[in-house]
Amino acid sequence: MDINTIRKETRGCENKIFLNSAGSSLVPDPVFDRVISYLTEEAEVGGYALAHSTLEETEEFYSEAARLLNCNPENIAYMTSATDAYAKAISSIEFKEGDVILTTDDDYVSNQLTFISLKKRIGIKIIRAVNLPGGDLDLVAFEQQVKTYQPKLVALTHIPTSSGLVQDAEKVGEICHKYKIWYLLDACQSVGQLVVDVKKIKCDFLTATGRKFLRGPRGTGFLYVSDAALGAGLAPLLIDMLGAKWTSKEDYKIEPTAKRFEFWESSIAGKLGLKEAMKYVNTIGMAVVEQYNASLMVAFRTKLTAIKGLHLQDRGTHVSNILTFTMDHHTTEEISEHLKQYGVYFSVSSKASALIDFTRKSIDSAIRLSPHYFNTPEELEKVVAILNF
């Protein structure tokens, strides 16, 4: 991995230490350039004419996403965000009163709100998996829960928004496959950070966003839909003229590919920007990025642990590029002010987005640092020194 070129092509990484890729990362120049050039041309000829003449390039969006996830372009739908993808995926499952969604304590806040909404409206049951003392899922208990409750859906967040935990998505996939349960994976924080292979994970749906570790533009994302889900006719509850053809007064024919989950209107500039972002990381190679990230984080975590009174809040045997911590002698606000003074970009995770996890940890908030492959070990050493205050 040529870190010097990568940094040269990341205009935002100068004069600051940018550690917020779990929030909204810095786009590489090819992404920036394509979005700007597209919008410039759109201002000249109008949205429809340009969309028509760039159809072939737009299709590359699907092949780059397919390359990233190890699937076919037909399994990919373009979305405006991970939440958009999630809502459409979940709406394709016909829940009835008493149906069970099996999920975890660490699943994303908006996903939990969706489950609660389905519970209030339809009367589904939410069952949450058991964690081992170290924070990992208890997979033996998980399989037992699958057998006992026969859930209609298993919903797992691969990497939670406010802790470094990486859930064992493959093992969960094996269990879902064995018992033929629909499996929805929220890979919003893992795509672009780790190798995510849907053939190995065996999920039916996977949701991702553009702006985080993929380094794409805001307002973009995608949904993966398995052949099994497409073959079973799963389609979003609310469709439009891209997802289906109006065939008679009372009927329609659904689009055969995952595009049935898309809406007709979308940002083509955003789509081409995200295509460039995926092409960028596909060219570097996800395995290379994952390896670089892992070594960056091992050293960072080790050095931070040595600071007296600093507590890493990440649990689990496999942790990621999301690092959360608190300090005994400084509040989150004090640490935030201190980091800002030194030009460190980061975010704060609050209990409102990690209700179960932070209640269990007895914390109200934590500082979240999320380095990525354009960051250097030297930058992280500086941050360690800054935090030693």
The binding site for ligand PLP (CB under 6 A) comprises 81-83, 108, 110, 157, 160-161, 186, 188-189, 209, 221
CA dihedral 141, 142, 144, 150 (to 10 degrees): 160
Identify whether the C-beta of residue 89 lies closer than 8 Å to the C-beta of residue 222. no
Minimal distance, residue 3 CB to ligand PLP, in Å: 26
How far apart are the C-alpha atoms of 93 and 342, rounded to whole Å? 48
Identify whether the C-beta of residue 316 lies closer than 8 Å to the C-beta of residue 158. no
Rounded to a whole number of angstroms, the distance between the first and last alpha carbons of the chain is 34
Minimal distance, residue 269 CB to ligand PLP, in Å: 17
Minimal distance, residue 227 CB to ligand PLP, in Å: 24
Minimal distance, residue 167 CB to ligand PLP, in Å: 11
Give whichever of 168 and 186 is closer to ligand PLP, judged by the CB atom: 186
Non-local (6+) Cβ contacts of 137 within 8 A are 104, 129, 130, 131, 167, 168, 171, 172
Give whichever of 108 and 346 is closer to ligand PLP, judged by the CB atom: 108
Give whichever of 82 and 194 is closer to ligand PLP, judged by the CB atom: 82
Minimal distance, residue 194 CB to ligand PLP, in Å: 13
- Tell how strand 344-345 and strand 17-18 pair up: parallel
Minimal distance, residue 206 CB to ligand PLP, in Å: 11
Minimal distance, residue 223 CB to ligand PLP, in Å: 11
Give whichever of 361 and 387 is closer to ligand PLP, judged by the CB atom: 361
How far from 291 is each of 286, 298, 317, 337, 372, CA to CA, in Å? 9, 11, 17, 32, 11
How far apart are the C-alpha atoms of 118 and 125, rounded to whole Å? 9
Give whichever of 85 and 327 is closer to ligand PLP, judged by the CB atom: 85
- 10 Å CB burial of residue 103 (0-12, 13-18, 19+) is buried
Give whichever of 185 and 387 is closer to ligand PLP, judged by the CB atom: 185
Minimal distance, residue 83 CB to ligand PLP, in Å: 3
Give whichever of 185 and 286 is closer to ligand PLP, judged by the CB atom: 185
Please report where in the chains the tokens 């050039």 appear, as a residue.
37
Minimal distance, residue 49 CB to ligand PLP, in Å: 30
How far apart are the C-alpha atoms of 261 and 211, rounded to whole Å? 20
Helices (H), 342-376: 355-361
Give whichever of 129 and 188 is closer to ligand PLP, judged by the CB atom: 188
How far apart are the C-alpha atoms of 56 and 35, rounded to whole Å? 16
How far apart are the C-alpha atoms of 359 and 138, rounded to whole Å? 20
Give whichever of 80 and 92 is closer to ligand PLP, judged by the CB atom: 80
Identify whether the C-beta of residue 141 lies closer than 8 Å to the C-beta of residue 170. no
